[in-house]
Amino acid sequence: MLPDFTEITAWMPDLMSGFKISLQVTFFSLLIGIPFGLVLALGVMAKGRVIRAISLFAVEVGRGAPALVLLQFIYVGLPSAGLMVGSFMAAIAALAWNTGAYTSEIIRASLLSIPSGQREAAEALGMKRLDELRFILLPQGLRVALPALLGFSILIFQSTSLCFTIALPELVSRAYEIGSITFRYFPVLLLAGLLYASISIPAALLVDFIEKRAGKFASR
């Protein structure tokens, strides 16, 4: 059942190139998705009705639809509307949307966790709303949100495996490819799983560590 040494050396180059694509998709999805989440969070909290409605729609669709459906929707749906997207771009767009929708709720909740007295103080001091956000709410809110954001980032990394459904040559696709040639599905998927774990487990430990340190300024 286990892959032997020659198999590992034979499969590794393909698996590693898939692994690299998984990491790239994760990186860009988060790079775009988390700032998008901040924008959506502010949009949902905005006073203007139109902005709020648009933001809410983007959040509800992004959270409501499974990542798999978003992927298909963008990869298959958009070309039929005349907009061609490659599988790499489609993967990033779908996962960034998913990330934005979920992280907007994480960010919104952490901004709301800042005691309202601080906002009143900033207001009474005559600080502009943007300054209040930049200097008072965001520095504290993001510190609160950080562990949850990192935790979600691990989930997105794992979600990149769904991209095999849109023919993106990421880790799971490459493993399947090897499996379909060698019929050694279990050993090659086991290897792929170990590669996911090599990132996810240390990252989860890092989240625990950061969680313990976050908000240290607020304790004696």
Partner 1 sequence: MIASDKTLIRLNGLSKHYGRLTVLDGIDLEVKAGEVLAIIGPSGSGKSTLLRCINYLEPPDGGTITVDDIVIDAGNPIGRAALSGLRRRVGMVFQSFNLFPHMSVLRNISLPQERVLGRSRKEADARSMQLLSRVGLADKAEQFPIRCSGGQQQRIAIARALALDPEVMLFDEPTSALDPELGLEVLAVMRELAKSGMTMIVVTHEMGFAENVSDTVMIMADGNIVEKGPSKEIMRNPQHERTKRFLRAVHDR
Q: Which CB, 38 or 74, lies closer to partner 1?
A: 38
| Residue keyed to tokens 């560590």 | 209
Surface-to-core class of residue 137, CB atoms within 10 Å of its CB (0-12 exposed, 13-18 middle, 19+ buried): buried
Q: What would you measure as the largest C-alpha separation in the chain, in angstroms?
A: 70
The span from the CA of 216 to the CA of 74, in Å, is: 42
Q: Which CB, 7 or 211, lies closer to partner 1?
A: 211
Provide the minimum distance between the beta carbon of 143 and partner 1 in the complex, in angstroms, as a whole number.
7
Q: Which CB, 69 or 127, lies closer to partner 1?
A: 127
The token duo for 138 is: 């965001």
Provide the minimum distance between the beta carbon of 146 and partner 1 in the complex, in angstroms, as a whole number.
13
Report the interface residues with partner 1, using CB under 8 A: 115, 117-118, 120-128, 131, 135-136, 139-140, 143, 217-220
Q: Which CB, 16 or 121, lies closer to partner 1?
A: 121
Residue closest to 158 by CA, chosen among 209, 198, 100, 211: 198
- Element (DSSP H or E) covering residue 139: helix 138-159
Provide the minimum distance between the beta carbon of 135 and partner 1 in the complex, in angstroms, as a whole number.
6
The span from the CA of 47 to the CA of 141, in Å, is: 20
Residue closest to 146 by CA, chosen among 201, 197, 96, 203: 203
Q: Which CB, 9 or 118, lies closer to partner 1?
A: 118
Provide the minimum distance between the beta carbon of 138 and partner 1 in the complex, in angstroms, as a whole number.
10
Provide the minimum distance between the beta carbon of 126 and partner 1 in the complex, in angstroms, as a whole number.
4
Provide the minimum distance between the beta carbon of 219 and partner 1 in the complex, in angstroms, as a whole number.
7
Q: Which CB, 42 or 122, lies closer to partner 1?
A: 122
Q: Are 146 and 37 in contact (CB under 8 A)?
A: no
Task: Specify the length of the chain in residues.
Answer: 220
